[in-house]
Amino acid sequence: MKKIVLGILLSYPLLATSLPELVRIGIAKNTLIKKSKLDIEYAKEGKIINQANKLGSIDLVASYTHFNLPRTLAPLTPATMKDPVTASNVATTKDLFGTGVSYSVPLFTGFALTKDIEMSSISIEIARSKRELTQEQLVYNIRSLYLSILALKEIYHAQQNYVKTLQKLVHQIEDEVKFGRKAQIDLLKAQSDLQGNLSYLEVIEGNIAISKASLSSLVGVEHIDSIKPIRVSVTKPSYAIDRLISDSDHLKRIEITNLNLKKASKGVDKSRASKLPQVSLNSYYGYNYGVNDESNVHSGEFDSKNNWQIGLNAKWNLFDFGKSDASIQKAKIGKMKADLDRRQALLDLKKSLTEASERIKQEYANYQGNLKQLSLTQKSEKIERVRYKNGVSTINDFLYAKSKTHLAKAKLIESKYNYQKGKYYMNYLLERGTK
């Protein structure tokens, strides 16, 4: 039933939808998530290849060779050729065909194949961790865009109300100008302020459309018409960064660096395999065919001989002009780089957690400050309204006070959603976004 509902949501433009719904759809549809899943399958296939290499290979083989002198279809010993009758019946040909089956398997490679399998297992773990990290990144991006749209919509509604208030003010001044209570210049200033705010209203509307398009692309749907609001509670933040860092080993971003270091260590062990002997088994079973040549008593007749063999091959490198040593040193350098990456990842995480914590604190302070500022500007606007009606102050004073109130509202809305974005970013760093 869930699959049917999800299919309907993906097939048609979304109307009013919630943040959790968009997150679920994004995880199901996003191309980066799909690619990360393929990376896991790719790593699994790599392990299958390495496991198969340890088992060797069975091959169907065929050959054709033309000789300038006749050859026997199968190797013969001198004792076989002593009997003239037997010798005259030996098949010989200048055009030798061969078909058969061969099996080759490495018996000892200095544990190189074993290390390949172990490294491919680590690659699978890395791919899985990267997939989860990609999913966390996607969830954060969806949430961030979602909040941006909500903030813009609230600012848009506030701007609409501000424009309506300005329109009423313009009408009032028009009436007062007719009766001679206000000067024409007051009307012109009010109309100018109104036009500027009408233009800004269109700008906000355009930004909402752009943000929705970005969210649609990120989630993987054709169109998002409207989104449901979420409750944002602005409370005083408290994060213990040192404790979070000490508990960071379970985080995928740190786990990936640990796995890369482990994989690099296996690479060093694998590189040392070139210093050890290499032993393999090779076997063959097949037939040689050919038409007896003119010198044979059975000239022109087609003949065949069975042929099979099995053997062991051993090779131990004594000197390769420093190639093996260079390979080992290269692997060791790779391990050192992986260790440095792990250390840097911890430092970067601490920096990011500190920045995220401070940003949340800043946005909390901004929100509290904007809340107080809004209260003060509203009082100031009321006073300026009375002063303007009584002719004590100018239209500029009144419009300025009104714009300050409107700006305080916009800043309050912005700080509220920036605070929530900060919390979402902290959840992303701590990999709690999908939980």
The CATH number covering residue 359 comes to 1.20.1600.10
Any domain includes 435: no
Q: What are phi and psi of 415, to 5 degrees?
A: -65, -35
pLDDT of residue 297: 74
Burial of 283 (0-12, 13-18, 19+ CB in 10 A): middle
Task: Give yes or no: residues 9 and 135 share one domain.
Answer: yes
What proportion of the chain, given as a percentage, has pLDDT over 70?
A: 94
Which tokens go with 278?
A: 């290499």
Looking at residue 250, the DSSP 8-state letter turns out to be: G
Task: Give yes or no: residues 340 and 308 share one domain.
Answer: no
Any domain includes 393: yes
pLDDT of residue 17: 85
- Number of separate domains in the chain: 2
Mean pLDDT of 20-27: 94
Using DSSP, state whether 182 is helix, strand or coil: coil
Q: CB–CB of 102/284 below 8 Å?
A: yes
What amino acid is encoded at 293 in this protein?
D
Asked if the model's pLDDT at residue 125 lies above 70, the reply is yes
CA distance 101 to 120: 30
Query: Lowest-pLDDT range, 121-125, 331-335, 378-382?
Result: 378-382
pLDDT of residue 6: 42
Any domain includes 125: yes
Q: CB–CB of 279/314 below 8 Å?
A: yes
Task: Give yes or no: residues 326 and 235 share one domain.
Answer: yes
Task: Give yes or no: residues 300 and 325 share one domain.
Answer: no
Indicate the helix (H) or strand (E) that contains 180: none
Asked if the model's pLDDT at residue 229 lies above 70, the reply is yes
pLDDT of residue 143: 96
What proportion of the chain, given as a percentage, has pLDDT over 90?
A: 67
Indicate the helix (H) or strand (E) that contains 383: helix 323-389
pLDDT of residue 401: 87
Question: Which of 274, 256, 308, 367 has the alpha carbon at shortest distance from 102?
Answer: 308
Task: Give yes or no: residues 303 and 173 share one domain.
Answer: no
Any domain includes 297: yes
pLDDT of residue 101: 98
Any domain includes 183: yes
Asked if the model's pLDDT at residue 7 lies above 80, the reply is no
pLDDT tens, 411-433? 999 999 999 999 999 999 999 98
Q: What are phi and psi of 296, to 5 degrees?
A: -85, 145
Looking at residue 222, the DSSP 8-state letter turns out to be: S
Residue-range definition of the domain harbouring residue 343: 2-55+109-277+316-429
Any domain includes 144: yes
Task: Give yes or no: residues 220 and 350 share one domain.
Answer: yes
- The count of other CB atoms within 10 Å of the CB of residue 300 is 9
CA distance 111 to 269: 8
Instruction: Match 């040392």 to its residue by tokens.
Output: 272
pLDDT of residue 9: 42
CA distance 247 to 261: 19
- pLDDT category at 80 given cuts 50, 70, 90 is low
Mean pLDDT over the full length of the chain: 90
Any domain includes 376: yes
Last-in-domain residue among 300, 315, 330: 315
Query: Terminal CA-to-CA distance of the chain, rounded, Å?
Result: 23
Asked if the model's pLDDT at residue 379 lies above 70, the reply is yes
Any domain includes 401: yes
Task: Give yes or no: residues 218 and 309 share one domain.
Answer: no
Question: Which of 20, 263, 259, 251 has the alpha carbon at shortest distance from 133?
Answer: 251
Task: Give yes or no: residues 77 and 23 share one domain.
Answer: no
Sign of CA dihedral 205, 210, 213, 215: negative
Task: Give yes or no: residues 238 and 91 share one domain.
Answer: no
Asked if the model's pLDDT at residue 382 lies above 70, the reply is yes
Task: Give yes or no: residues 269 and 233 share one domain.
Answer: yes
pTM: 0.83
pLDDT tens, 38-58? 999 999 999 999 999 999 999
Q: What are phi and psi of 316, to 5 degrees?
A: -130, 115
In order of 29, 320, 329, the CA distances from 326 in angstroms are 46, 10, 5
pLDDT tens, 152-184? 999 999 999 989 888 988 888 888 888 877 888
Across 131-157, b (16+ Cβ under 10 Å) vs e yields bbbbbbebbbbbbbbbbbbbbbbbbbe
Last-in-domain residue among 255, 290, 315: 315
Task: Give yes or no: residues 117 and 191 share one domain.
Answer: yes
Last-in-domain residue among 260, 293, 315: 315
Task: Give yes or no: residues 247 and 351 share one domain.
Answer: yes
pLDDT of residue 230: 92
Q: Give the residues across from 311 on adjacent strands.
A: 282
- The count of other CB atoms within 10 Å of the CB of residue 48 is 11
Beta strand 278-291 with 302-315: parallel, antiparallel or unpaired?
antiparallel
- DSSP assignment of 162-177 equals HHHHHHHHHHHHHHHH
Return the ∠ at Cα 151 (arms to 149 and 417), rounded to 5°.
115
Asked if the model's pLDDT at residue 147 lies above 60, the reply is yes
pLDDT tens, 235-280? 999 888 888 888 888 899 999 999 999 999 999 999 999 999 999 9
Residues 6 or more apart whose Cβ sits within 8 Å of residue 193: 166, 399, 403
- pLDDT category at 81 given cuts 50, 70, 90 is low
Query: Lowest-pLDDT range, 54-68, 336-350, 384-398?
Result: 384-398
Question: Which of 350, 402, 372, 419 has the alpha carbon at shortest distance from 168?
Answer: 402
